[in-house]
């Protein structure tokens, strides 16, 4: 496995692989890699000839006062994690390499960013779409792998790829959870042991909501209130949002299969997200 920091060097490697008729798979990440990232990478390795993993903490997707500076960074640990999954290359550019000079062109998306994290974090998805577009143009993968944990991001990337005619297949990967059900997240590293205990309330509240929905309760308002009540019982928890939306990211009144139950909760100072697609098997 090799680590490459510059765009010209990366392009040279990709050109070589293309001449050998290799299919390129791509897993974009912000590093601080955990088992869920590794599951994406392993799937990519299994389904492609050559796997590129990018590690880039994207400044454009962080708002003022968010955790850009303290976001965990550990290249040595990450490169071991990527290597053990059988990937071929880590693209680890300096911010200057990606953002150097003045950027005047951004990729923005209508409608799908007007709710959930897009509403709470203005500019976040513009930052995501702009940098993912740049990475797609640099890596030129055949397939790119994204996790359903960031369900609004996945929805937006799929639409962006369709709207802008990227010749890239977006592969959706399931949410990977720890044994107590909490979704793996690089931000779990911020949690104290007391906060870590409280953090399971996100997945527990989803689980109870799904039980109530399966028992016939289809009012979004009632389910949302049930979730909020359970979360608010935790001393360290502060709700950012609890929503049930359709695939256009619009709030629904009556719950239907395929709707998305999505939540964002601060546990202490750490903002965690989780979601469940109604009708899919709950495996935690
Ligand atoms: P990040 O490094 O947080 O930007 O995440 C990189 C990729 O890993 C994104 O496609 C995420 O959706 C995905 N990912 C992160 N955590 C999980 C998880 N627990 N389950 C599935 N995918 C995840």
Report whether pLDDT(77) > 90.
Answer: yes
Q: What is the reported pLDDT for 122?
A: 97
Torsion of CA 55, 59, 61, 63, to 10 degrees: 140
Q: Assess whether the C-beta atom of 36 lies below 6 angstroms from ligand 1.
A: yes
Report whether pLDDT(106) > 90.
Answer: yes
Helix pair angle (35-47, 75-84), 10° resolution: 40
Report whether pLDDT(200) > 90.
Answer: yes
pLDDT digits (tens, 9 = 90+) for 203-247: 999 999 999 999 999 999 999 999 999 999 999 999 999 999 999
Judge whether 37 counts as a catalytic residue: yes
- Reported confidence tier of residue 169, pLDDT bands at 50, 70, 90: very high
Q: How far is CA 276 from the centre of its chain?
A: 14
pLDDT digits (tens, 9 = 90+) for 118-141: 999 999 999 999 999 999 999 999
Q: What is the reported pLDDT for 101?
A: 87
The mean pLDDT value for 200-205 works out to 98
Q: What is the reported pLDDT for 243?
A: 98
Q: What is the reported pLDDT for 6?
A: 98
pTM of the entire predicted model: 0.98
Pocket test for ligand 1, best of 149, 155, 178, 182 (most atoms within 8 A of CB): 149
Token digits of residue 235 = 């001393």
34, 37, 124, 276: which one is catalytic?
A: 37
- Reported confidence tier of residue 171, pLDDT bands at 50, 70, 90: very high
User: Helix and strand tally (H, E) in the chain?
Assistant: 10, 9
Share of the chain above pLDDT 90, in %: 98
Q: What is the Cβ-side half-sphere exposure of residue 12, based on CA atoms within 13 angstroms?
A: 6
The mean pLDDT value for 9-32 works out to 98
- Reported confidence tier of residue 283, pLDDT bands at 50, 70, 90: confident
Q: Assess whether the C-beta atom of 146 lies below 6 angstroms from ligand 1.
A: yes
In 3D space, the residue among 136, 140, 132, 130 whose CA is nearest the CA of residue 105 turns out to be 130
- Reported confidence tier of residue 83, pLDDT bands at 50, 70, 90: very high
CA 144 to ligand 1 center in whole angstroms? 13
The mean pLDDT value for 155-172 works out to 98
Closest atom of ligand 1 relative to the 177 alpha carbon: 19
As a whole number of angstroms, the distance between CA 46 and CA 9 comes to 25
Average pLDDT, the chain: 97
In 3D space, the residue among 203, 188, 275, 198 whose CA is nearest the CA of residue 232 turns out to be 198
Between CA 188 and CA 198, with CA 193 as vertex, the angle to 5 degrees is 75
Alpha helix (H) residue ranges in 85-187 = 95-99, 116-120, 124-139, 151-163
């Amino acid at each position: 496995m090799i680590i490459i920091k510059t765009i010209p060097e990366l392009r040279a490697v990709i050109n070589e692989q293309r001449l050998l008729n290799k299919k390129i798979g791509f897993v974009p990440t912000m590093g601080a890699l955990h088992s869920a990232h590794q599951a994406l990478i392993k799937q990519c390795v299994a389904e492609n000839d050559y796997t590129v993993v990018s590690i880039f903490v994207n400044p454009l997707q962080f708002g003022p006062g968010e955790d850009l500076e303290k976001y965990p960074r550990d290249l040595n640990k990450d490169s071991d994690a990527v290597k053990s999954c059988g990937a071929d290359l880590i693209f680890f550019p300096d911010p200057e390499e990606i953002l150097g000079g003045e950027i005047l062109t951004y990729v923005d998306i209508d409608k799908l960013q007007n709710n959930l994290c897009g509403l709470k974090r203005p500019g976040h998805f513009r930052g995501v779409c702009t940098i993912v577009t740049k990475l797609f143009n640099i890596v030129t993968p055949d397939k790119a792998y994204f996790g359903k944990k960031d369900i609004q991001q996945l929805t937006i990337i799929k639409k962006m790829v369709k709207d802008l005619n990227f010749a890239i297949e977006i592969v959706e990967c399931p949410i990977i959870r720890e044994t107590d059900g909490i979704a793996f997240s690089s931000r779990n590293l911020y949690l104290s042991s007391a906060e870590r205990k409280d953090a399971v309330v996100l997945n527990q509240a989803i689980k109870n909501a799904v039980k109530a929905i399966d028992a016939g309760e289809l009012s979004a308002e009632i389910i949302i209130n049930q979730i909020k009540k359970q979360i608010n019982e935790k001393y360290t928890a502060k709700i950012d949002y609890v929503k049930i939306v359709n695939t256009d990211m619009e709030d629904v009144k009556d719950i239907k299969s395929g709707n998305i139950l999505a939540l964002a909760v601060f546990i202490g100072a750490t903002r965690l997200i989780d979601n469940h697609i109604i009708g899919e098997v709950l495996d935690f």
